[in-house]
């Protein structure tokens, strides 16, 4: 990712995590204390009790109970001279998710409060925040400096911006100066994490929620949300707007608030998430129980409605290709399985027939439960969910009829910093139109049947098709330019 996306902010009801940001763009230390007040201290048992009383769960995707993580770190620390570490996962390699970025840019002290609160309870000397964006790093370093001596125990480390950077073992390896790639080993960071120490690792929003709960207490925290799922949730809607809502809010209401509707369907949970059809999107609530009844998960809180005027099959193909390119490249399912899956999805979209549909199913089976991390499973689930929600759309594309719509890029992907370009030589072009048949996502024709632009950027995923268009142009009027 290029790291230039800055989210708009909104809320349903009274904000907690985003409190004060209606009048200030960023809460410095003084502004933070004016809005939230001082942070109380908790001993280890009291902090575990608080996390249990509010059923605090990780907000990075897995939804693991935070109290169980705390207990596991405490248990492991007994055999390690009591030494522990605290890690904040502030990396967002998911291009559809900006909620942690919003917190770290606009309310960094709330995140630091939660991390330092946990560190004090655990007796951890090392508090490390892993980030991937330059602006986020700058905001955090400023917040650490604003705390004076109290911030000296916090380190901020910049890591490569990749989808897999946020995986637990990848994050720890990166923070220790190694490659930010999954280790491939089933190691719990609560047993052996940063520096080999028992490590409490959770994402940005989780620590911010802990800091809010510490101030409100369990009864106050439970006044928002559902009895079974108290508190608020941060969502990224459409890849651009971060909204804080009470748990149990209607998904349809949130979409309407953001000026969107269910469209052709809604992807919930990001690119390792699940698709909801329009009817399900209109009825589901933003709670674990309601989403589970629709075979969906909240994941990292990304909500992506698919507009009516884009091609679902093409959108799914481009995300699948990007996911294949974002793999760690360390195991067979990632090195060969995911590129093969992306290839057969592209064949399906291009009219590969029933054989392409069968090939997609086969490729999904070949990567499931065989990877060194969850990335192959998550990618296969994304495709499987699309097949379930858009069966007729994908079948029509496979059989050659398609939908006739262009791919608008409604599912956000990182911008290509230095894309190659498809260049038209006007002295040779005869307006055959073969280029638009091969590259409908790049080339559009003017009223006279000629390419409307002379120079068109070519995303990396479409380079093979662009080369094919160059080779097949009857007038030899196309070339690829670096």
DSSP codes of every residue in 122-172: HT-SEEEEEE--HHHHHHHHHHHHHTGGGGGGEEEEE----GGGGSHHHHH
Output phi, psi for 171, to 5 deg: -65, -45
What is the strand order of the sheet 455-458 is part of? 455-458, 420-424, 478-481
Q: What percent of the chain has pLDDT over 70?
A: 98
**131-171: per-residue pLDDT in tens?**
999 999 999 999 999 999 988 899 999 998 888 888 888 99
Task: Put residue 270 in one of left, alpha, beta given phi > 0 → left and psi -120 to 50 → alpha.
Answer: left
312-398: CATH number: 1.20.1440.230
Interatomic CA distance for residues 98 and 110, integer angstroms: 17
**399-456: per-residue pLDDT in tens?**
988 888 888 889 998 876 556 889 999 889 999 989 988 888 788 888 888 998 888 8
285 DSSP β-pair partners = 250
372 and 331 in contact (C-beta within 8 Å)?
yes
313 and 275 in contact (C-beta within 8 Å)?
no
* Residue ranges, CATH 3.40.50.11540, the chain: 15-221
Q: What is the mean predicted confidence (pLDDT) over 162-188? A: 87
SS3 breakdown of the chain: % helix, strand, coil, rounded to 5? 45, 15, 40
CATH superfamily of 15-221: NADH-ubiquinone oxidoreductase 51kDa subunit (3.40.50.11540)
List, in order, residues 6 or more apart from 52 with CB less than 8 Å away.
65, 67
List, in order, residues 6 or more apart from 23 with CB less than 8 Å away.
none
Output phi, psi for 406, to 5 deg: -80, 160
* Residue ranges, CATH 3.30.70.20, the chain: 420-481
107 and 27 in contact (C-beta within 8 Å)?
yes
* Residue ranges, CATH 1.20.1440.230, the chain: 312-398
Strand bridging mode 265-268 / 232-237: unpaired
Fold of 420-481: Alpha-Beta Plaits (3.30.70)
The two structure tokens encoding residue 452: 């409307």
**30-39: per-residue pLDDT in tens?**
999 999 999 9
**CA–CA distances in Å: residue 284 to residues 255, 271, 292, 294, 469:** 12, 19, 10, 7, 44
**310-362: per-residue pLDDT in tens?**
999 999 999 999 999 888 878 888 888 999 999 999 999 988 899 999 999 99
The dihedral sign for the CA sequence 199, 142, 18, 242: negative
Interatomic CA distance for residues 285 and 359, integer angstroms: 35
């Amino acid at each position: 990712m290029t790291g230039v996306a800055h989210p708009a902010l909104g809320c349903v009801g009274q904000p907690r995590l985003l409190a004060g940001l209606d009048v200030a763009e960023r809460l410095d230390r003084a502004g933070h204390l004016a809005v939230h007040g001082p942070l109380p201290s908790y001993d280890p048992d009291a902090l575990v009790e608080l996390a249990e009383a509010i059923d605090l769960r990780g907000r990075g995707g897995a939804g693991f109970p935070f109290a169980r993580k705390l207990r596991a770190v405490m248990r492991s620390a007994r055999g390690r001279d009591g030494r522990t570490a605290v890690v904040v996962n502030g990396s967002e390699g998911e291009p559809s998710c900006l909620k942690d970025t919003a917190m770290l840019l606009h309310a960094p002290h709330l995140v630091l409060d939660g991390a330092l609160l946990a560190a004090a309870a655990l007796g951890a000397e090392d508090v490390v925040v892993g980030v991937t964006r330059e602006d986020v790093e700058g905001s955090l370093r400023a917040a650490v400096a604003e705390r004076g001596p109290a911030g000296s125990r916090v380190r901020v480390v910049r890591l490569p911006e990749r989808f897999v950077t946020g995986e637990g073992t990848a994050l720890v390896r990166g923070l220790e100066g190694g490659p930010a790639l999954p280790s491939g080993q089933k190691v719990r960071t609560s047993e052996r994490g940063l520096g080999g120490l028992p490590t409490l690792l959770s994402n940005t929003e989780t620590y911010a929620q802990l800091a809010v709960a510490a101030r409100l207490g369990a009864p106050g925290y439970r006044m928002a949300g559902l009895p079974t799922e108290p508190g608020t949730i941060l969502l990224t809607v459409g890849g651009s707007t971060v909204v804080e809502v009470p748990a149990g809010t209607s998904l349809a209401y949130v979409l309407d608030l953001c000026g969107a509707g269910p469209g052709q369907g809604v992807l919930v949970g990001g690119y390792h998430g699940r698709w909801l059809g329009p009817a399900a999107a209109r009825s589901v609530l933003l709670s674990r129980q309601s989403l589970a009844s629709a075979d969906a998960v909240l994941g990292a809180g990304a909500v992506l409605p698919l507009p009516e005027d884009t091609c679902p099959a093409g959108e799914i193909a481009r995300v699948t290709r990007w996911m294949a390119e974002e793999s760690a490249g360390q195991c067979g399912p990632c090195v060969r399985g995911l590129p093969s899956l992306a290839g057969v999805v592209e064949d399906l979209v291009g009219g590969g027939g029933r054989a392409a549909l069968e090939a997609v199913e086969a490729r999904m089976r070949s990567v499931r439960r065989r990877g060194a991390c969850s990335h192959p499973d998550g990618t296969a689930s994304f495709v499987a969910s699309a097949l379930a929600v858009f069966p007729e759309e994908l079948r029509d594309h496979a059989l050659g009829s398609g939908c006739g719509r262009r791919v608008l890029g409604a599912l956000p992907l990182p911008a290509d910093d230095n894309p190659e370009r498809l260049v038209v030589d006007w002295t040779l072009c005869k307006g055959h139109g073969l280029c638009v048949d091969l590259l409908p996502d790049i080339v559009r024709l003017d009223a006279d049947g000629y390419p409307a632009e002379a120079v068109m950027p070519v995303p990396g995923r479409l380079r093979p098709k662009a080369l094919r268009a160059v080779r097949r142009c009857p007038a030899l009027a196309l070339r690829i330019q670096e």
